[in-house]
Amino acid sequence: MTLPQAIAEQIHDVVKVLSAGTKIRSATIYGGVGANPQIQALRNGAEILVALGEVFLGDDLAAEQAHTPQGRTLYGAEVFVDRALRGKGVGRELYRARRRICRALNLKRIIACGRLPGYAAHASEMTADLYCKKVLWGDLSDAVLSFQLREGFRFCGVVEGYLPQDTESCGFASLIVWLNPKYDRSRPTRVPEGGIL
C-alpha cells in the first residue's frame, strides 16, 4: 500500500468511528488498486467519500505523481460534508485529522483551496480578493472560508478559475495554509510506527 493510500484508509477509519451508530455509509477511492470494488462501493451509496484528488479509480501514474516523499506540504484536495450533516462537527473532525497527519508526518504545512460559496451574492460589488479580506476582517461571513479560518488556516490569496463551473463562487477559491507548530526541520518526513491517526 502506498503512502497516499494508507493516509486515505486512516482518514476513512476516523470517519467510520465518527459515524458509528448512524446510518451514514462511507467509502474510499484512490489509485493503484482495482477500480471495480471502488465503483461498487459508490453504487452502494456513500454519504461520506474519502478520495485522493486526481488519484481516482486505479490510476497508478497519478498515484506516483501525487506524492513526493521529500515533500514538506500536505495538499488538502477537498472536504465535502453533506448538507444534512453540517453543524454536527464532521468537518471539524476531518480538519483535525488533517492536522494530525501533518504533525505525525513532520510536514511543514497544509495548503488547500476552498470554495467561496457566498461570493456570487457580492460579485457585482467587489473583487473576490476584497470579499475574502472582508471575511477575514469579520465584515462578512462565508460558509467555507470562515470555517477554515476558525480551524486555524491563514488566508494567502485568491485563485481564479479553480472550479469554473462553481457559480456560487464565480469560479474563485481562497488559497489557505496551516503551519505546523511542531514541524522540526532536522527530522525527515516519515510514517510513524503504528500509523498516523
Kind of pairing between the strands at 109-115 and 73-76: parallel
Question: Mean per-residue pLDDT for 68-92?
Answer: 74
Domain count, the chain: 2
- Same-domain pairing of 79 and 171: yes
pLDDT band of 190, cuts 50, 70, 90: low
Distance set, CA 52 to CA 17, 174, 185 (Å): 20, 20, 26
Angle at 93 between CA 140 and CA 81, to 5 degrees: 65
The residue ranking higher by pLDDT, 4 or 99, is: 99
98 found inside a domain:
no
Both 39 and 79 in one domain: the answer is: no
Average pLDDT over residues 183-192: 79
Residues 5 and 42 grouped into a single domain:
yes
The one-character DSSP state at 189 is P
Mean of pLDDT values over 43-70: 52
Task: Please state, in angstroms and rounded to a whole number, the distance separating the CA atoms of residues 184 and 92.
Answer: 25
Residues 57 and 131 occupy one common structural domain: no
CA nearest neighbour of 119 among 177, 79, 155, 170: 170
More confident residue, 133 or 188: 133
Residues 122, 140 share a domain: yes
Question: What digits encode the pLDDT tens for the residues 100-146?
Answer: 888 888 888 888 889 999 999 999 999 999 999 999 999 999 999 99
Same domain, 120 and 166: yes
In a domain, 91, yes or no: no
Tell whether the model's pLDDT for residue 1 goes beyond 60.
no
- Burial of 19 from C-beta contacts in 10 A (0-12 / 13-18 / 19+): middle
Would you place residue 31 in the very low, low, confident or very high pLDDT band (cuts 50, 70, 90)? low
Pick the range with the lowest mean pLDDT from 31-40, 53-62, 156-165, 175-184.
Answer: 53-62
Q: Which residues contact 67 (CB under 8 A, 6 or more apart)?
A: 2, 3, 4
17 within some domain: yes
Same domain, 45 and 78: no
Q: What is the CATH number of the domain that holds 149?
A: 3.40.630.30
C-alpha cell belonging to residue 74 = 500536505
161 Cβ neighbours under 8 A, 6+ residues apart: 171
Q: How far apart are CA 184 and CA 156, in angstroms?
A: 23
Same domain, 121 and 165: yes
pLDDT of amino acid 147: 94
Total residue count of the chain as it appears in this document? 197
Tell me the residue range of the domain where 19 lies. Answer: 1-67
Q: Are residues 81 and 48 in the same domain?
A: no
Q: Are residues 10 and 43 in the same domain?
A: yes
Considering the chain, what is the average pLDDT of its residues?
79
Phi and psi (nearest 5°) for 52? -95, 125
